[in-house]
Homo-oligomer: A and B are copies of this chain.
């Protein structure tokens, strides 16, 4: 399993570099800043944050990778499969959140990860949160995801789309966070097939996000639309702090706060 872990970790690092390179090509004003972090005593592993702020295209974009291991907190472990005999775990992942300056460009979120306890599984997904209704864009986004999913399993897209709609839902407002996407967890049947899927979905995000950003980035916007974006971002914040499992996982595994809150928007209005 050591080689598999190395392979997984390397892939997330490669993908991080590819995404940062592509986004750097799009952005003309600012550069990514990288920062390594380690977990505190009694915990092992760490990660690297790549963050770009106040750019011409990106108001805030974070591309995080991390590999953490050790033992889960006893209470938190109850929620995690394969921890009945031991709380030991190993987890590696990549997480990307794009908060664009131009309100015509949707906020984008992507992550993939591998977690190992006495079991081992892949999880992840991507979703899109626009400020402006754009049915053509929504269709394109979902068509691409469906095409990718179908090349692995005809059941994937419908199932993963449903997961996404269910998960990215603001219960207190009775409304979805955005236009959805796909979201999956506990892929533990066929390591090689699942890992290929994880790699393909990473490349799919890279190309698709680049296209979405480039094709909406030069559209004109006004102050009213920016205000609307700030209100939409408030809901994004509510989701991440009230519901998000990744945020809870990070806070429960002594993760790096800057990395955990990377997903929060640069600004929001209530």
Q: Complex formed: what's the CA distance from A257 to B257 in Å?
A: 28
| Stretch in contact with the other chain, from A83-91, A155-163, A195-203, A260-268 | A260-268
Q: Complex formed: what's the CA distance from A26 to B60 in Å?
A: 37
Instruction: Judge if A172 is at the interface, Cβ distance under 8 Å.
Output: yes
Interface residues in A, total, Cβ within 8 A = 20
Q: Which residue of chain B lies nearest to A171 when distances are taken between CB atoms in the complex?
A: B251
Q: Which residue of chain B lies nearest to A242 when distances are taken between CB atoms in the complex?
A: B241
Instruction: Judge if A269 is at the interface, Cβ distance under 8 Å.
Output: yes
Instruction: Judge if A173 is at the interface, Cβ distance under 8 Å.
Output: yes
Contacts of A251 in B (CB 8 A): 172
Q: Which of A48-86 contact B (CB under 8 A)?
A: 60
Q: Which residue of chain B lies nearest to A234 when distances are taken between CB atoms in the complex?
A: B264
Query: Contacts A238-B241, A241-B237: A267 and B230 contacting too (C-beta < 8 A)?
Result: yes
Q: Complex formed: what's the CA distance from A226 to B242 in Å?
A: 27
Contacts of A238 in B (CB 8 A): 241
Question: Per a CB cutoff under 8 Å, which of B257, B260, B267 touches A268?
Answer: B267
Q: Which residue of chain B lies nearest to A239 when distances are taken between CB atoms in the complex?
A: B241
Q: Complex formed: what's the CA distance from A10 to B269 in Å?
A: 33
Contacts of A267 in B (CB 8 A): 230, 267-270
Q: Which of A222-252 contact B (CB under 8 A)?
A: 230, 234, 237-238, 241-242, 251
Q: Complex formed: what's the CA distance from A265 to B269 in Å?
A: 7
Q: Which of A157-205 contact B (CB under 8 A)?
A: 172-173
Contacts of A270 in B (CB 8 A): 60, 237, 261, 264-267
Q: Complex formed: what's the CA distance from A163 to B138 in Å?
A: 49
How many whole Å from A238's CB to the nearest CB in chain B?
6
Q: Complex formed: what's the CA distance from A257 to B267 in Å?
A: 21
CB-based contact A266/B269 at 8 Å = yes
Q: Which residue of chain B lies nearest to A263 when distances are taken between CB atoms in the complex?
A: B270
